Amino acid sequence: MKMNWFTMLVAISLCPISVFAQKGVEDGSRFGHGEDSIRCLQNISIYTKYVKTNNLKDAYTPWKAVFTEAPWAQTGIYTNGAKILRALIAESKDEAQQKVYVDELMAVHDQCINYLDKLNTLVKTPRSKGAILGMKTHDYIIFTGRDFDVNKAYEMGKEAIGLEKANSNYFMLQDMMDISLRKLKADENHKEQFIQDYLTVSEYADAAFKAATNERDKKLLKTAKDIIDAYFINSGTATCENLQAIYGPKVEQNKTNLEYLKQVISVMQMLKCTNEDVYFAASEAAHAIEPTSETAAGCGYMCYKKGDMDKSMQYFNEAIERAQDNGKKADYYYNAAIVLFSQKQLARAKQYALESIQANGNNGKPYILIAQMYASNPNWNDEQALNQCTYFAVIDKLQKAKSVDPSVTEEADKLIHTYTAHTPKDKDLFFLGLKEGDTVTINGWIDEKTIIR
């Protein structure tokens, strides 16, 4: 049977106390012994009542006594203590006193971590060191003021994220990018690590969002990811030129360091900087050590840029064969189609573009590429008006691109405006017995049905 505070007080008061008085912090007990244990329980009762009525100023003194004398009496010492101190910091107008409270708030988190194993025996849902350290970092950022030490905050935040990973609270993920950006502004040599921090935090945010089971958490994590992306975009590091400057010399020094090469390739792909020399160099070096779809694709881009189309196709075909992810497979098919299109191998190029669509039907770019193929070689009949009907098929593909992928709408609309001018006039179709609404089959390598409009 559980013993309430009053019963416990009575029980202790009936015992001889003068000899056995001792604080919990001294003997390792939960409440202490004798008079000290009575005082501890009384102070718990007093400060918790004050907290419940939101009288946090009067809660401070009895709370501080419990915090100091019985550090593992209850978990509320730390949750309520943080609440009390945050309120006192906000209310105080004295900078020196604010600093005292901030130091005490940091001590609350430190002591909680120090006694965490014992505190977790008191609750059904245990807390983790990473989560507490993350909250400490959050409070440090918010309340430290002019004494803020970016390096100290960075190390705390990084340790917290490293411990929690995808279990990190949404604010921990935001805080990490905030601190890393502050560190970057103070030290330009932090650029490479800032990019790595972004990749790490983004990965954890994405994983946390996928694992979230309620709408509130999903909304918070979605907002956090948007903020994280904004920190990165506004940092000035997210340019291909910057990445070339950062990674260029280091790839040469790390040609046998596969993990480093993979990191470079991943960053360059994510930021769509696959035309930079450093991306080619990293891909080639990594491919020589451990061939993957990503390294094969990198070599494919490199050969395309150098004008070696046959070799480029070999690499892209290898990337397609090795790819396990349909999204990546779709990208490689699409890029192979571009290579073939540049060589005017239109039928093969179209087939690769269709394979790209098969792998990922939500990408509008392959449809646009097919439209451009059709427009590049519209002639399939001796009648010019029928050849001009090819542009109806071109527009069909552009309309389809918009319908599956809104992100390409602007590009597709511009092309539709351009190609509409090339469609046949009514009078030219009239002499062929055709009119608006009729179906025309575009023969040859295109082999498409389209409607006159």
pLDDT for position 13: 45
Share of the chain above pLDDT 90, in %: 79
Whether residues 1 and 123 fall in one domain: yes
* 89-98, 113-122, 126-135, 242-251, range with the lowest pLDDT: 242-251
> Which of 211, 236, 261 corresponds to the end of one domain?
236
- Residues 380-407: pLDDT tens digits? 999 999 999 999 999 999 999 999 999 9
Cα–Cα distance list, 402 to 63, 294, 422 (Å): 62, 28, 20
Whether residues 245 and 228 fall in one domain: no
> Which of 329, 363, 397 corresponds to the end of one domain?
363
Whether residues 332 and 277 fall in one domain: yes
Asked if residue 142 is part of any domain, the answer here is no
Q: Residue 80: which domain range?
A: 1-127
Q: What is the DSSP string of 42-107?
A: HHHHHHHHHHHTT-HHHHHHHHHHHHHH-TTS-THHHHHHHHHHHHHHHH---HHHHHHHHHHHHH
Q: Which residues pair with 451 in a beta bridge?
A: 439
Query: What's the mean pLDDT in 200-211?
Result: 92
Residue 14 reports pLDDT greater than 70: no
Q: How many CA atoms, within 13 angstroms, populate the side-chain half-sphere of residue 108? A: 28
pLDDT for position 243: 87
d(CA 178, CA 228): 8
pLDDT for position 175: 97
Whether residues 64 and 168 fall in one domain: no
> Which residues lie closer than 8 Å to 51 by C-beta, 6 or more apart?
59, 63, 80, 83, 84
Whether residues 19 and 109 fall in one domain: yes
Asked if residue 205 is part of any domain, the answer here is yes
Helices (H), 234-364: 240-253, 258-270, 277-289, 293-306, 309-322, 326-342, 346-359
CA 21, distance to chain mean position in Å, is 54
Whether residues 84 and 29 fall in one domain: yes
Asked if residue 243 is part of any domain, the answer here is yes
Q: How many CA atoms, within 13 angstroms, populate the side-chain half-sphere of residue 48? A: 15
Query: What's the mean pLDDT in 245-265?
Result: 89
Query: What's the mean pLDDT in 421-428?
Result: 93
Whether residues 189 and 83 fall in one domain: no
Query: What's the mean pLDDT in 332-339?
Result: 97
pLDDT for position 12: 45
Whether residues 251 and 321 fall in one domain: yes
pLDDT for position 115: 97
Whether residues 393 and 316 fall in one domain: no
Asked if residue 135 is part of any domain, the answer here is no
Asked if residue 186 is part of any domain, the answer here is yes
What's the domain count of the chain? 4
- Residues 130-147: pLDDT tens digits? 999 999 999 999 999 889
* 193-207, 320-334, 347-361, range with the lowest pLDDT: 193-207
Whether residue 409 contacts residue 402, with contact meaning beta carbons closer than 8 Å, is answered with yes
> Which of 236, 269, 287 corresponds to the end of one domain?
236
22 in helix, strand or coil? strand
Whether residues 211 and 255 fall in one domain: no
Residue 9 reports pLDDT greater than 50: no
Query: What's the mean pLDDT in 239-259?
Result: 90
Asked if residue 140 is part of any domain, the answer here is no
Task: Output the average pLDDT for the chain.
Answer: 92
pLDDT for position 449: 96
Query: What's the mean pLDDT in 344-368?
Result: 97
Q: Which residues pair with 33 in a beta bridge?
A: 22
Whether residues 278 and 228 fall in one domain: no
Asked if residue 81 is part of any domain, the answer here is yes
d(CA 158, CA 167): 14
Asked if residue 434 is part of any domain, the answer here is yes
Whether residues 16 and 80 fall in one domain: yes
